[in-house]
Chain A
């Protein structure tokens, strides 16, 4: 199994508070992604990274920011959590940009109350 760890696995937070989710990999893969999974929407890309300090927005990036200061860590921050950000968040990693599959972390279930 690919070495990807997401933390925390579960979190309940209050509306308006900042929240940071962490994705840590031991595979030295260049590409890292944050997705959110919601019923009826499948997985939607929030942000992605193609190298240290190289990040870009996905299709649902509003209200989220990311940082990648080391190859192994990709942080997702909800600047001011809202109930619409209640979701399951998945981190994924990929060795190369096309001809490889992406491996996913176990997911983080975030509830904003």
Chain B
């Protein structure tokens, strides 16, 4: 069975703090992809990053960074120096081999950044 767990339902931080959003996944496949999406208050889903199971290199994009560790089945997302505009719900998702390779989502983490 494929499963994505985002144990943090809601996180509140003060602007400029660093924050890490956790994502733990389960899959028996050796080939799979992990994703992060952002859902701002306006409601749309915005793609942030894709990572395949063979690439454990961490990635940094501006204030965002992602830490992929196969040994712990985790794909955590860190926002450095958070800003109010980072306030959103963040979803981690898993895509595995199979018919149409559906995306399986976690339940999301709501991040609230305040001044």
Instruction: Determine if A42 and B107 form an interchain contact, defined as CB atoms under 8 angstroms apart.
Output: yes
Instruction: Determine if B105 and A43 form an interchain contact, defined as CB atoms under 8 angstroms apart.
Output: yes
A62 near B: Cβ within 8 Å? no
Report the stretch among A19-27, A75-83, A103-111 that lies at the interface: A103-111
Instruction: Determine if A33 and B105 form an interchain contact, defined as CB atoms under 8 angstroms apart.
Output: no
C-alpha spacing A58/B47, complex, angstroms: 21
Of listed B99, B100, B105, residue having the most chain A CB within 10 A:
B100
* Number of inter-chain CB pairs below 8 Å: 59
- Residue tally, chain A, CB below 8 Å to B: 28
B97, closest chain A residue (CB): A98
C-alpha spacing A44/B108, complex, angstroms: 12
B residues contacting A by CB (< 8 A) are 6, 31, 33, 35, 37, 43-45, 47, 50, 52, 91, 95, 97, 99-108
A residues contacting B by CB (< 8 A) are 31, 33, 35, 40-45, 48-50, 56, 58, 88, 90, 92, 94, 97-104, 106-107
Q: Can you list 10 A-B pairs with a CB-CB distance of less than 8 A?
A: A31-B100, A40-B107, A48-B100, A50-B100, A94-B101, A98-B95, A99-B33, A99-B50, A99-B52, A107-B44
